Amino acid sequence: MWGGDSDCQHVWGDEMPRVGNENRNGLGSNSEFAGRADKAKINKAANSTGSGQFCQSCGAWLGELGAEPTPQMYVEHIVIVMREVKRVLRDDGVAFLNAADSYANPGHYKGNPGSGRASVAKSETMNYSKAWVGAKPKDMCLIPERLKIALQDDGWWIRNTVVWQKTNCMPSSAGDRFTNTWESIIFLAKSQRYYFDWFAVKESSTERKLGRKKRKMPEERDRPKDHLGSSVPYEPDGTGRRRRDVWTFSTGKHSGRFCLSCRDYFPKGFRGMERHTDEQGKEHPICPTCGRWDTWMAHYAVFPPDLPAIAIRAGTSEHGACVKCGSPWERIAQKTGVKNSRKPAHVPGNSPTKTSSTGWRHAVPGTDEWKPTCKCGCGAVAPSIVLDPFGGSGTTGVVSAQLGRSSILIELNPDYAEMGKCRIEHEVSGCKVLFPKGAKR
Ligand SMILES: C[S@@+](CC[C@H](N)C(=O)[O-])C[C@H]1O[C@@H](n2cnc3c(N)ncnc32)[C@H](O)[C@@H]1O
Ligand SMILES: [Zn+2]
Ligand SMILES: [Zn+2]
Ligand SMILES: [Zn+2]
């Protein structure tokens, strides 16, 4: 339930039809099916459940995140979730938010397609920004753009829009636009200064052509002379460069299947299972534990592990955090000893350390030595903590544990939560997942 008055007795109105977006793949239930061959089938099932109801007295909305009737409402809900993330985040903490875009289909509401207001007209008293502003049928909803502005207005620092370029994007049937191949990952900080370990996520310097001048690999270069004339900033330590803001991976694949009947988890999926043939002649794998063939569950929107891995490596300390105050330990930087041997006349501002588009500075690479960022002086560390408020199949938990971090996952669907628990324990040996008291297992 979102918005409204907590004292209200709530009189829920009619369930609204689910928004039939062309390519809705933000967070939430619809998104799970984006990019999958069985999307149509699953979406049909999801559509039959409707997309939520407004309270006729206070205007609260009862529905699942991602199924909101307007992009504005969706953005407001994400801002609410992110406000809670900010509340529990350390002041020097960062957040990464994967936000895909979608195409509007406000005509679905049988009202004036230009306004898309008809079926939300009853919600006059609610405290949402109600009107579907701007988006006409087929219009991009501009979810990442709206989110960034709203989150910035809510106090977050927006530091990057990372482009997650998908190598295996969904082919598009739309003949009047280009195929979407990427999603945004919004990189946010809670404060102006925050923990960020660029060294842990540096990428290899690849050979590139710049104009007609062919760049050499760092180890081939005789720096700094070879750098003259290029406007490309000096790469800090010759072993890699600061990671760029386009990350290219395929979408995640996760073969694990969960039997909802006996609650058994099969990490390798259906391989080697006997089959049952139904009345239509279709074959179904039979659960080796309980014999059912009609209670299988999988998660359809898993991250490729590389994605949370970059966020976790950059955003949390590999060494850990002070056990007393939680401050991350940071990497000790070291001067390379490379001297700027340019003639002073060529050094910008006549200063050997000044940078400009044509200058360079002394390189300061990270090391594998660490120092505390607090003054507690206890010397003891605990693993850094990662929070994923949309845990799904638990990819963030798997990767966090593999990288030596602790993690806390929140997941709406208890079946996914249980499958995630099984997956993490299976994929990370020795890792024990705790369920809070009272949570359904
Ligand atoms: C895109 S999936 C995340 C998948 C995850 N990154 C992984 O690799 O498995 C989004 C998840 O958020 C969950 N979800 C949706 N609304 C939620 C809410 N209000 N609170 C917690 N989880 C929610 C969905 O059930 C779904 O599993
Ligand atoms: Zn109400
Ligand atoms: Zn079973
Ligand atoms: Zn401390």
Amino acid identity for residue 399 in this structure: V
311 and 279 co-located in one domain: no
Helix, coil or strand: residue 87: helix
Q: What is the mean pLDDT of residues 304-315?
A: 96
- Could you say which DSSP state residue 15 is in? P
Distance 4 CA to ligand 3 centre (A): 41
Distance 322 CA to ligand 4 centre (A): 5
Residues having CB closer than 6 A to ligand 1 are: 27-28, 31-32, 64-65, 252, 299, 301-303, 389-390, 392-393, 395, 410-413, 416
User: Could you tell me the CA-to-CA distances from 273 to 70, 257, 268, 325, 426 in Å, in that order?
Assistant: 44, 12, 10, 51, 19
pLDDT at 97: 98
Between CA 369 and CA 377, with CA 371 as vertex, the angle to 5 degrees is 140
379 and 282 co-located in one domain: no
Distance 59 CA to ligand 2 centre (A): 6
Residue 189's nearest CA partner among 219, 152, 223 is 152
Q: Which atom of ligand 1 is nearest to the CA of 64?
A: 16
Greatest alpha-carbon span in the chain:
85
| 173, burial (CB in 10 Å: exposed 0-12, middle 13-18, buried 19+) | exposed
Q: Is residue 14 part of a domain?
A: no
Q: Which atom of ligand 1 is nearest to the CA of 31?
A: 1
**Do 195 and 317 meet the contact criterion of CB atoms below 8 Å apart?**
yes
Output the six-digit token pair for 123: 């919600």
- Could you say which DSSP state residue 347 is in? S
pLDDT at 27: 32
285 and 398 co-located in one domain: no
34 and 46 co-located in one domain: yes
Other residues' Cβ atoms within 10 Å of the Cβ of residue 115: 17
Count: domains in the chain = 3
**Do 128 and 72 meet the contact criterion of CB atoms below 8 Å apart?**
yes
Q: How far apart are CA 2 and CA 76, in angstroms?
A: 10
Query: Which residue is closest in CA terms to ligand 1's atom 26?
Result: 392
Q: What is the mean pLDDT of residues 113-132?
A: 34
Q: Is residue 205 part of a domain?
A: no
User: Could you tell me the CA-to-CA distances from 131 to 124, 180, 343, 437, 440 in Å, in that order?
Assistant: 10, 27, 62, 41, 38
307 and 288 co-located in one domain: no
Output the six-digit token pair for 335: 């001067």
**Do 60 and 8 meet the contact criterion of CB atoms below 8 Å apart?**
yes
Contacts of 114 (CB under 8 A, 6+ apart): 106, 136
Q: Is residue 133 part of a domain?
A: yes
289 and 320 co-located in one domain: no
Q: Which helix (H) or strand (E) holds 41?
A: helix 39-47
431 and 409 co-located in one domain: yes
Q: Is residue 415 part of a domain?
A: yes
Residue 141's nearest CA partner among 177, 104, 192 is 104
Average pLDDT over the chain, rounded to an integer: 79
Q: How far apart are CA 335 and CA 237, in angstroms?
A: 9
- pLDDT top residue among 359 and 417: 417
The 10s digit of each residue's pLDDT in 330-345 is 999 887 655 555 555 5
User: Bridge-partner residues for 247, per DSSP?
Assistant: 164
pLDDT at 272: 92
279 and 380 co-located in one domain: no
Q: What is the mean pLDDT of residues 72-88?
A: 96
Determine the residue of 62, 390, 411 to mutate for testing ligand 1's pocket, defined as the one with the most ligand atoms within 8 A of the Cβ atom: 390
pLDDT surpassing 90 at residue 88: yes
77 and 112 co-located in one domain: yes
Q: What is the mean pLDDT of residues 127-140?
A: 63
Distance 329 CA to ligand 4 centre (A): 9
pLDDT at 177: 95
CATH classification at residue 426? 3.40.50.150
270 and 313 co-located in one domain: no
- Could you say which DSSP state residue 304 is in? P
382 and 431 co-located in one domain: yes
Q: Is residue 280 part of a domain?
A: yes
User: Could you tell me the CA-to-CA distances from 341 to 226, 228, 348, 357 in Å, in that order?
Assistant: 11, 11, 13, 17
User: Could you tell me the CA-to-CA distances from 148 to 2, 59, 161 in Å, in that order?
Assistant: 21, 26, 9
pLDDT at 67: 86
- Could you say which DSSP state residue 243 is in? -
Query: Which residue is closest in CA terms to ligand 1's atom 23?
Result: 412
Last residue of a domain, one of 296, 317, 341: 296
C-alpha 63, offset from chain centre: 22
Tokens 């801002």 belong to residue: 79
**% of the chain beyond a pLDDT of 70:** 71
432 and 411 co-located in one domain: yes
Q: Is residue 401 part of a domain?
A: yes
Residue 336's nearest CA partner among 371, 360, 372, 370 is 360
Residue 19's nearest CA partner among 28, 9, 7 is 28
Highest average pLDDT, of 107-116, 153-162, 169-178, comes from: 153-162
Among 211-215, 251-255, 268-272, 362-366, name the one with the lowest average pLDDT.
211-215
Output the six-digit token pair for 72: 């504005």
> Which range of residues forms the domain containing residue 278?
265-296
DSSP structure string for 125-188: TSSS--S--SPPTT-B--HHHHHHHHHHHTTPEEEEEEEEEETTPPP---SSSPPP-EEEEEEE
Distance 388 CA to ligand 1 centre (A): 9
Determine the residue of 83, 97, 412 to mutate for testing ligand 1's pocket, defined as the one with the most ligand atoms within 8 A of the Cβ atom: 412
**Do 29 and 299 meet the contact criterion of CB atoms below 8 Å apart?**
no
Q: Is residue 41 part of a domain?
A: yes
Last residue of a domain, one of 128, 155, 173: 173
Q: Is residue 441 part of a domain?
A: no
pLDDT at 336: 62
The 10s digit of each residue's pLDDT in 165-211 is 999 888 888 899 999 999 999 999 999 999 999 999 998 876 444 44
pLDDT at 236: 46
**Do 286 and 441 meet the contact criterion of CB atoms below 8 Å apart?**
no
| 72, burial (CB in 10 Å: exposed 0-12, middle 13-18, buried 19+) | buried
Q: Which atom of ligand 1 is nearest to the CA of 392?
A: 27
Helix runs in 188-316, H state only? 306-315
Q: How confident is the model at residue 50 (pLDDT cuts 50, 70, 90)?
A: low
Phi/psi for 84 (5° steps) reads -70, -35
